[in-house]
Amino acid sequence: MKKLFIIMWLFAQSCSLIFAQTAEDALRYSRVFYSGTARFNGMSGAFGAVGADFSTLSTNPAGIGLYKGSEMTLTIAPTVGSSSSIYNGTVASDSRVNFGLGNFGFIFNINPQKKSNSGILKSINVGFGFNRQNDFNNRTVITGVNAKNSLMQSYANTLNAEQIPPATVQDTYPFDMGLAYGTNLVYYNKTTQQYECDARFGGVIQNKIIQTYGSMNELDFSVGANFSDKFFIGLTLGVPSISYYESSSYDEARTRDTIPTFISMNYQYNIHTKGTGVNVKFGMIYKPVEWVRIGASIHTPTWYPSMRDEWFSNMRSNFDSTYWNESQSSPVGYYDYWLTTPFRAMGSLAFIIGQYGLISADYEYVNYSQARLNSDFDSFTDVNNTIKSTYQSWGNIRLGTEWRVLNFRLRGGFAYFSNPYTSGINNGERFQVSGGFGYRGKRFFADVSYVWTKMNQDYYLYDPAMVNPASITYNTNTVFTTVGIRF
């Protein structure tokens, strides 16, 4: 019973068309899938103990301490995102192409021991730029026949359970159920004193298209130091920014003439979330012997003090009698709040195999139940309690390797991002496989990598007690191309 309650609450929070801030929002912005240079991605981000790559400013900033000179990098990252769904036995698929930047940044090397190498402090490096941390671009299609009920019946059930007076429905729920009432999709029967709808027993084909856009990018300002070529430390001030758009269209249409009056309906909604935060990262790398490197880093929680949601929706109905056809739009809603994402810690190990190559591994600990939402106006106690009971602490693993052939490099990697949900609620595991190659000259370098990711997740069109979940598989295919110069 407890598990069923949590599943239903998750549905209400993630799919509610009132757009209150939810536990799912907190999870979306707490999950970080580090991106950056093609070299970093070619090894699936297993760089915590390797260093000397601009992407490490976002993971283990001690990596900046291993630079021997100054550098500038730029990465482009076109992505093809695809999804496939199975809902009530019907399969649907779609895809979307997006062009983005993986990173852009500078490293400046300051060598206080140019004339003498006798000092402990060998060099200080300063870096700034940005790294991408998450990509929200995708399109998902869900379609199938429901022979038992409809979204409109879900609305009617809610209105009956809450005993909302007909005169206040549109003011109480202006973004979803109020629109259904205003377009005659849900009506009040004065005889039974209940809200009803035409497709209460199903017999409709349901179709939903979900398009998401945007990304999380982080501006990084870092400083690192090299002590005796054995011990390296680094500090990063991170300023992440969120820009998330979601545009969805939901349709129902009758599949048989036994449904009186009703022909079809369409519901559209749009939401835009934006915010800027701040965090601090500290890291270190130690070389006990020349062929072993040990890395560790901690990331403070990221505080987003200026989150804002803006949303609007509209609904259209189509009946046998055109007299009942209606179209209504909601007002524009907005809400300001703040978000705190979890603390993170990383441990890393790398083996350097002479001049031939390296093998590395990272383990990242993050407890998603630590995320919190709050505002100056409302209490988020219920939402934060759900975050604590719904999400869990686990870990992410990244493995990578790189091999040298003259001035060329060959790379491969694998990453596993664990399920953030507690047992039995959902499955958000993500798998990543990568590979690439590069060229390293004295002043110029270039790298190309390919990254494939896969994630499965269940999605409920509405009340989980009424509908089966749509099983969705997400795949992304990204090609990272980095060019850089040393100076």
Please name the helix (run of DSSP H) or strand (run of DSSP E) that holds residue 101, with its range, or none: strand 101-110
Does the residue 184 lie in any domain? no
Residues 44-50 have a mean pLDDT of: 96
Nearest-10 crossing angle of helices 2-15, 23-30: 80
pLDDT at position 161, please?
95
pLDDT at position 115, please?
54
pLDDT at position 324, please?
83
CA distance 44 to 480: 12
Does the residue 191 lie in any domain? no
- Give the closest residue to 35 by CA, choosing from 70, 73, 84, 82: 73
CA distance 170 to 139: 30
pLDDT at position 16, please?
41
> Residue 466 belongs to what domain range?
2-150+199-486
26: three-class secondary structure by DSSP: helix
| CATH number for 91 | 2.40.160.60
Residues 408-428 have a mean pLDDT of: 91
- Listed in sequence order, the residues at least 6 apart from 348 whose beta carbon sits closer than 8 Å to its beta carbon are 46, 47, 48, 49, 50, 60, 285, 293, 294, 295, 296, 297, 360, 361, 362, 363
Query: Given a cut of 90, is residue 444 above it in pLDDT?
Result: yes
pLDDT at position 425, please?
76
CA distance 221 to 235: 8
How far lies 318's CA from each of 30, 252, 253, 324, in Å?
Answer: 41, 10, 9, 8
Does the residue 416 lie in any domain? yes
Query: Given a cut of 50, is residue 306 above it in pLDDT?
Result: yes
pLDDT at position 13, please?
41
113 or 13, which is more confident:
113
Residues 207-212 have a mean pLDDT of: 96
- Give the closest residue to 45 by CA, choosing from 54, 57, 31, 55: 55
DSSP per-residue string spanning 163-180: T--GGGHHHHSTTTHHHH
How far lies 348's CA from each of 59, 63, 417, in Å?
Answer: 11, 12, 16
pLDDT at position 116, please?
55
Residues 236-256 have a mean pLDDT of: 96
Indicate the length of the chain as a whole number. 487
For residue range 337-361, what is the model confidence (pLDDT) as tens digits?
999 999 999 999 999 999 999 999 9
pLDDT at position 10, please?
44
Contact 333, 300 (CB under 8 A): no
Residues 385-401 have a mean pLDDT of: 92
Determine what percent of the chain is predicted with pLDDT higher than 90: 84
Residues 147-176 have a mean pLDDT of: 95
DSSP state of 22: -
Does the residue 314 lie in any domain? yes
Average pLDDT, the chain: 92
Residues 170-189 have a mean pLDDT of: 95
pLDDT at position 114, please?
62
219: three-class secondary structure by DSSP: strand
Query: Given a cut of 70, is residue 18 above it in pLDDT?
Result: no
What are the tokens at 94?
């779609």
> 256: pLDDT confidence band, cut at 50, 70 and 90?
confident
For residue range 91-132, what is the model confidence (pLDDT) as tens digits?
999 999 998 899 999 999 998 666 555 689 999 999 999 999
Q: Whole-model pTM?
A: 0.90
CA distance 50 to 73: 18
Does the residue 380 lie in any domain? yes
Query: What's the one-letter identity of residue 417?
Result: F
Does the residue 369 lie in any domain? yes
Domain count, the chain: 1
How far lies 29's CA from each of 273, 322, 475, 476, 484, in Å?
Answer: 10, 45, 19, 19, 30
Residues 262-273 have a mean pLDDT of: 96
Query: Given a cut of 70, is residue 55 above it in pLDDT?
Result: yes
CA distance 38 to 218: 17
Does the residue 190 lie in any domain? no
pLDDT at position 6, please?
40
